[in-house]
Amino acid sequence: MDVTEVATRLSVADADVHKIEQHPDGLVVTLADGQRRLLTEVGWVPFTGEIPCVVTEEDDEPVVDPEVCDRSARDEVPTGNAGEVLKWVGNDYDRVIVALQAEEQRELPRKGLMAALQKLVEPAE
């Protein structure tokens, strides 16, 4: 899908589409103002890191059906060292978010791991 088609589906100008990334559930589109949206075959929802498996449209509004998919089984962060966590995360945005949340809940969060994970979350400038 090209920039023009993505922009049309999101009802924004071509110039507002900053970045388009493949995701298992569709395309993650970063807009010029920093907003991120998950674009699927049937609509779009704000991209928060908690990705719905199914998005439908009712009365022209995107609706997430959270009962359809449970990703928690694949989202168990390794309990090993920081290198193992980063290897598990790879380039998967969902896993970055899960790993960050898990690390923040530790009694002594690892500062180096937190910094490395934050770099993966923040868009490159």
Question: pLDDT of 17-27, one tens digit each?
Answer: 998 988 877 88
Same domain, 38 and 78: no
Same domain, 85 and 54: no
Same domain, 14 and 46: yes
Report the pLDDT value the prediction gives residue 111, as an integer from 0 to 100. 93
Q: Summarize pLDDT for 84-114 with one digit per residue, the tens.
A: 888 888 877 778 888 888 888 889 999 999 9
Same domain, 58 and 77: no
Same domain, 58 and 79: no
Report the pLDDT value the prediction gives residue 120, as an integer from 0 to 100. 81
Same domain, 20 and 53: yes
Please give the tally of structural domains in the chain. Answer: 2
Domain that holds residue 40: 3-64
Same domain, 17 and 60: yes
Same domain, 8 and 58: yes
Q: Summarize pLDDT for 34-62 with one digit per residue, the tens.
A: 888 888 877 787 777 654 444 455 555 54
Same domain, 57 and 77: no
Return contacts of 89-94, CB within 8 angstroms, 24+ apart: 89/117, 89/120, 91/120, 93/23, 93/28, 93/49, 93/120, 93/121, 94/49, 94/50, 94/51
CA neighbours within 13 Å on the CB side: how many for 81? 1
